[in-house]
């Protein structure tokens, strides 16, 4: 059951199509995400799920269709792109922290240079979010000195410092050693419970069951099935969904 939203959806993908050269990677994607909704996207590799969410903040360019985020349409217009990127935070599989800056500097960089905040205010916000992800003592360390789980939590905090309306997660735990996955998922669950709009590409089905409002299954560039987690896991309708779930839930 999707959460009833007040007003227009905060993300709208209408007939989204993308090609890499001749390869049709996203085929007529239609998706609506309401404010405060938590969407988990899953599917086999090569299904286009990462490409889809990377189109939302223009890390990838779409050739046909419309993307509307927080009421702004995503076109080649640089102002639109920058406005959307201010409101959308992204967490990458490879963390992508800036190694030549301290943790604190990583967090305050964008608020200072994009939102034009004074340094003190930016640092206060940064320490607040470092606290939220439970590593306040690492503020003056460099990313190279942290473990993978700590780095990813810093990456989440870095996006949160921009106070975005939407958070995108591109397989955030896939590059982590197993013992560190839980600490990152815990942070993401807390974030979800506070009402953040999230679109998450992940293989962590336990997390999906806990947090998701909507499950979306993609295969070969198209959305094959979507629904509430309960129905999705208990009674998948499509054969391709059944096949995928049997493979991923076998362990």
Partner 1 sequence: MPTDTIPRPTRPSPWRNPAVRSMVVQVLFVAAVLALGAFLVHNTVVNLRRQNIAGGFGFLDREAAFGIGEALIAYTPADTYARAFFVGLLNTLYVAGLGVVLATILGTVMGIARLSRNWLVSKLAQIYVETFRNIPLLLQLFFWWGLLRETAPAPRQAWQPLPDVFVSNRGIAFVVPSPDPAYGWMALAFLVGLAATIGAFRWARQRQAQTGQQFPTGWIGLGLVVGLPLAMFLLSGAPLTLDRPEMKGFNFTGGHAVSPEFAALLLGLVIYSGTFIAEIVRAGILAVSWGQTEAAMALGLHPIQRMRLIVLPQALRVIIPPMTSQYLSLTKNSSLAVAIGYPDLVSVTNTMINQTGQAVEGIAMIMAVYLTISLIISALMNVYNRSVALVER
Partner 2 sequence: MTDVTQELPIVVEPPPPATAGPLGWLRANLFSNVFNTILTILAAALLAVTIPPIIRWALFDAIWAAPNSRACRGAGACWAFIHEKLRFILFGTFPYEEQWRPLLAVVIFIALIVASCDRRLWGRSLAFLWLLGLVAVGVLMWGGIFGLSFVGNQLWSGLPLTLILAVVGMAFAFPLAILLALGRRSQLPAVRTICVAYIELIRGVPLITVLFMASVMLPLFLPAGMTIDKLLRAQDAIILFAAAYLAEVVRGGLQAIPKGQIEAADALGLTYWQRTRRIVLPQALALVIPPLVNTFIGTFKDTTLVIIIGLFDLLGTINAALNDANWRGTSTEAYIFAAAIYFCFCFFMSRYSQMLEREFNKGRRQ
Site residues (vs partner 2, CB under 8 A) = 1, 17, 19, 21-22, 24, 27-28, 30, 63-64, 220, 222-228, 231-232, 235-238
Q: Residue 209's binding partner, choosing from partner 1, partner 2, none, with beta-carbon cut-off 5 to 8 A by kind?
A: none
Q: Residue 231's binding partner, choosing from partner 2, partner 1, none, with beta-carbon cut-off 5 to 8 A by kind?
A: partner 2
Locate tokens 């054969």: which residue?
Answer: 239
Q: Which residues sit at the interface with partner 1, rule CB under 8 A?
A: 57-59, 78, 82, 85-86, 88-90, 92, 94, 96-100, 109-110, 112-122, 141-142, 144-145, 155, 158-159, 162
How is residue 125 written in tokens? 């916000």
What beta strand segments (E) does the chain contain? 11-20, 23-33, 38-42, 64-69, 72-73, 88-91, 166-170, 197-201, 214-219, 222-227
Locate tokens 């963390």: which residue?
Answer: 95
Q: Residue 66's binding partner, choosing from partner 2, partner 1, none, with beta-carbon cut-off 5 to 8 A by kind?
A: none
Closest to partner 2 by CB, 200 vs 223, is 223
Quick one: 248 exposed, middle or buried, by C-beta within 10 A (0-12, 13-18, 19+)? Answer: middle
Pairing relation of β-strands 64-69 and 11-20?
Answer: antiparallel
Quick one: 41 exposed, middle or buried, by C-beta within 10 A (0-12, 13-18, 19+)? Answer: buried
Q: Residue 159's binding partner, choosing from partner 2, partner 1, none, with beta-carbon cut-off 5 to 8 A by kind?
A: partner 1
Radius of gyration of the chain (CA): 18
Provide, rounded to whole angstroms, the least separation between the CB of residue 230 and partner 2: 10
Closest to partner 1 by CB, 94 vs 246, is 94
Closest to partner 2 by CB, 24 vs 86, is 24
């Amino acid at each position: 059951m999707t959460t009833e939203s007040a007003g227009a959806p905060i993300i709208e993908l209408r007939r989204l199509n993308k090609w890499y050269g001749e390869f049709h990677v996203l085929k007529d994607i239609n998706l609506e995400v309401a404010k405060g909704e938590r969407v988990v996207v899953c599917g086999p590799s090569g299904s286009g799920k990462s490409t889809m969410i990377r189109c939302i903040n223009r890390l990838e360019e779409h050739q046909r269709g419309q993307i509307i985020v927080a009421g702004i349409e995503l076109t080649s217009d640089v102002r639109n792109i920058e406005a959307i990127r201010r409101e959308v935070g992204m967490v990458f599989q490879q963390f992508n922290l800036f190694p030549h800056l301290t943790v604190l500097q990583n967090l305050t960089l964008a608020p200072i240079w994009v939102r034009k905040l004074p340094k003190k205010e930016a640092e206060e916000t940064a320490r607040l979010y470092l606290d939220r992800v439970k590593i306040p003592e690492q503020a003056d360390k460099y990313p190279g000195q942290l473990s993978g789980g700590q780095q990813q939590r810093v990456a989440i905090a870095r996006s949160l410092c921009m106070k975005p309306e939407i958070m995108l997660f591109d397989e955030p735990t896939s590059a982590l050693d197993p013992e560190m996955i839980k600490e990152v998922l815990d942070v993401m669950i807390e974030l979800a419970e506070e009402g953040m709009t999230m679109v998450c590409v992940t293989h962590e089905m336990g997390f999906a069951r806990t947090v998701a409002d909507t499950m979306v299954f993609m295969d070969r560039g198209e959305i094959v099935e979507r629904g509430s987690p309960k129905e999705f896991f208990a009674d998948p309708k499509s054969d391709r969904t059944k096949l995928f779930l049997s493979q991923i839930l076998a362990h």
